[in-house]
Amino acid sequence: MAVKIKKGDTVIVVRGKKANKGQRGKVKEVLRDKGRVIVEGVNIVKKHLKEIPNVREGGIVEVEAPLNISNVMIVCPNCDKPTRVGFKIVKEKKFLRKYRYCKKCGENIDLVREKQL
């Protein structure tokens, strides 16, 4: 299946914990095999780390935990609204170009792939 959310996209949390719902952030990482994404500043959890001599201190650290990919929605850079993403293939001169596009406003989000004919 095609990846509709990529690293660097701005997303909004639409489902999940009340504390996280409605928050926006950039995607730091997409875990495709697990169907999860890590979003900057969202779903912060505390992790207890054991000290490793000469490497790191022990203690309690706050980190971003992964969210299910179905709980986030991409924010269109053009209309600035949460939207679903579609794909369209356009023939331009000697190239076939595949774009991700916003289903609300119809504008292209970015170029996914380009193939020469």
Residues 64 and 97 in one domain: no
Q: Which of 29, 9, 11 is nearest to 20 (CA)?
A: 11
**What pLDDT was estimated at residue 16?**
87
Residue type for position 11? V
Residues 15 and 62 in one domain: yes
Residues 11 and 53 in one domain: yes
Residues 69 and 82 in one domain: no
Residues 98 and 49 in one domain: no
Residues 26 and 61 in one domain: yes
**What pLDDT was estimated at residue 3?**
78
Residues 70 and 87 in one domain: no
**What pLDDT was estimated at residue 92?**
86
**What pLDDT was estimated at residue 93?**
86
> How many domains is the chain partitioned into structurally?
2
Residues 71 and 89 in one domain: no
Which tokens is 33 given? 């095999």
Q: In which domain, by residue range, is 45 found? A: 1-75
pTM: 0.84
How would you write the pLDDT of the chain (117 residues) with one tens digit per residue?
A: 567 899 999 999 999 888 889 999 999 999 999 999 999 999 999 999 999 999 999 999 999 999 999 999 999 999 999 999 999 999 988 999 999 999 999 999 999 999 988
Q: Which of 80, 47, 87 is nearest to 65 (CA)?
A: 47
The domain that holds 39 is classified in CATH as 2.30.30.30
Residues 39 and 86 in one domain: no
Residues 4 and 40 in one domain: yes
